[in-house]
Chain A
């Protein structure tokens, strides 16, 4: 990311933390590859898993799940007021109408951004995330900086993403501490009245559904 995103924020000046140098050197990665291969051969030998089934699960999460699903939900809510009402009332059922359901999305709640309210989703205790609509979470969502600071300094975290909110805008932070999974319904950008549902879908970013950015109309 560019320095612009953090410019002027106090967290920018935090001292380097020796614990945050992650194990990602080639040597460390090679050691992990070896250790994980050994574990897989053990669990296969014990009859817990089969390698073909592991392949199939990985393919599913690489190819079939991702933020495009959530973007379809958002675009539908923008063009169909009755759908939006169902989505805000019973998100799990409304999301299932579009064919998305399952692991880590069994109990969904969708929260709506408005001109005077901005919602932000975090999991401070681990990294709970609505997989059926957003796929697997990005690294920053799982890292200490986001998990720790979002609840105490949400406006500062938003500044890290280049979003400066007015003082009058109310911020609602949602800490997913249980099995309820949250997704933000971002505001539809002005000037998109003539766009099709498909065109709108292409505008909706993953980050806007976590609540760290707004949806912008492409210029």
Chain B
């Protein structure tokens, strides 16, 4: 969707303001939201669906709230949409039914394996043969889907060059919407700064972005 999250290229937000000696978390609640999301989200939906739930936030709320408040909003939304919590439970904080899940929650001893093992998104099934090779000229498609996409507006319709073929990866545009992983080739695509931003941009500069095959046409 063409949401407020798709920020690349805007210049209205002022200078970057680093914080001296910044703590990892700024409040106790941020720690709990981080951990609940990391451990609970996978039982609700995919990472892509989670990102899309953030994108579906009210845009004024999105811009006026912190990062972990985005996570909180998405976690609450998906818990209700997936039927784990009722809206009444969320509003009152009181569980009406205590669901006893067959597997039970993950024990603390499992954390090192979860953190160090990760959740790779490359696949050995799906569309395995890349259509493009390094050096090929491509054009980012002018797509404006109403659902989730990782094709930002600032590259749509622009011409670039395949810089690297990463392999076959889960496709977020379907995986966010319960339509399966539908893995397909992923590329690093190089766009010149002048192609993206016009003749005033530095002729020396380039932008690299990872784009799935269905985002691209031959140029």
Contact = CB atoms under 8 A, between A and B. Distances in A.
A202 interface: no
Contacts of B28: 33
Interface residues of B, number: 96
Contacts of B43: 48
Given A40-B32, A41-B93, A1 B20 contact: yes
B108 A52 contact: yes
A96 to B, nearest CB: 9
A146 interface: yes
B118 interface: yes
A48 B64 contact: no
B27 interface: yes
Contacts of A126: 5, 51, 54
Contact of A23 (B34, B66, B100, B111): B66
Contact of B8 (A42, A152, A170): A152
A208 interface: no
A171 B208 CA distance: 11
Scoring B75, B122, B193 by chain A CB atoms within 10 A of each residue's CB, the highest score goes to B193
Contacts, number: 311
A5 B18 CA distance: 10
Contact of B209 (A36, A157, A175): A175
Interface string A154-175: 1101001100000111111111
Interface stretch (A6-14, A79-87, A186-194): A6-14
Contacts of A136: 24, 34
11 contacts: A1-B18, A32-B69, A37-B32, A54-B36, A125-B51, A143-B13, A144-B13, A148-B8, A151-B154, A168-B204, A172-B205
Given A49-B39, A52-B108, 7 more contacts: A50-B106, A60-B111, A61-B34, A125-B150, A135-B24, A152-B9, A175-B208
Interface of A: 1, 5-6, 9, 11-12, 14, 16-17, 19-24, 29, 32-33, 35-50, 52-58, 60-62, 65-66, 101-107, 109, 124-127, 132, 135-136, 138-140, 142-149, 151-155, 157, 160-161, 167-180, 207, 212
